[in-house]
Amino acid sequence: MFRTMVKGWFRNSRSEYNGFIKALLVDDIKAMNHYMNKVALNTFSSFDTGNKPSETSEPERFLTEKATTMGLTEPNPSICFYHGFVLGLLVELSDRYTITSNRESGFGRYDVMLEPKKDDDGIILEFKVQDPEDEKELTDTVQAALRQIEDKKYETAFIDKGVPKEKIRKYGFAFCGKNVLIGTMT
C-alpha cells in the first residue's frame, strides 16, 4: 500500500524520463529546445537526416510533389528520420498517453498526437524540414508547422473525444540538419 502511495506522489516527475520528456510534460519550451539541440549536435550525422544535409537537400514540398507526379508514395527521408527519432523519445509516455502517428484528423494528417489516458493535456506535434527558398529562418518553419496544425484543424480528434480546447497543446518542430527549433501556439 505504501509503495503504491509513494509511486503515486512521484508519478508526474518520473526520474527515468529523458530531458525532452520532462520538459514536454511541464510545457518548458526552452528546455525542450535545449535537449533536442544537444542530442542533435552530439548524435545526428548529416547522413541521418537524408541523402544530403538539409541545407542542400530538396525541400519537403518538392519531394512530395515529385513523388506524387511519379506515382510514388515515398515521403521525404529527412523528415522520416526526425519523425522516427522524436517518436522514439515519446515511447516512454505510453503509460500516460496513447501515441499515434500519421493519422487523419480535421482536414489532414498530423505527424504525432499524444492522447491523454487520464487528466493530462492532449499534445499535437507537427514536423517540418526547413525549405530555404520559402523560409529564411527556422522560426519561419516553426510558424509553417503551427499554421498547418491550425489550418488543417488537427485538434478535431481531441475535441471529438471530449478534450477541452484549453487542454490541447500544439508544437511545431523545425529541422535543418543538426539544428532544431520547437515553438508553440501563444
C-beta atoms surrounding 57 within 10 Å: 23
- Domain locations along the chain: 16-184
- The region of weakest confidence among 3-7, 21-25, 88-92, 136-140 is 3-7
Q: Report the distance separating Cα 1 and Cα 119, nearest Å.
A: 23
Give the closest residue to 133 by CA, choosing from 27, 66, 186, 57: 57
Between the CA of residue 37 and those of 13, 150, 162, what are the distances in Å?
22, 26, 34
pLDDT of residue 41: 84
Instruction: Kindly report, residue by residue over 12-69, the tens digit of the pLDDT.
Output: 444 446 889 999 999 999 999 999 998 888 887 767 665 444 444 444 444 444 433 3
DSSP bridge partners of 173: 127, 182
Q: Report the distance separating Cα 28 and Cα 69, nearest Å.
A: 41
* Between 2 and 181, residue with greater pLDDT: 181
Give the closest residue to 17 by CA, choosing from 84, 83, 91: 91
pLDDT of residue 64: 45
Name the H helices within the chain.
Answer: 2-10, 19-25, 29-43, 60-69, 77-90, 138-151, 156-160
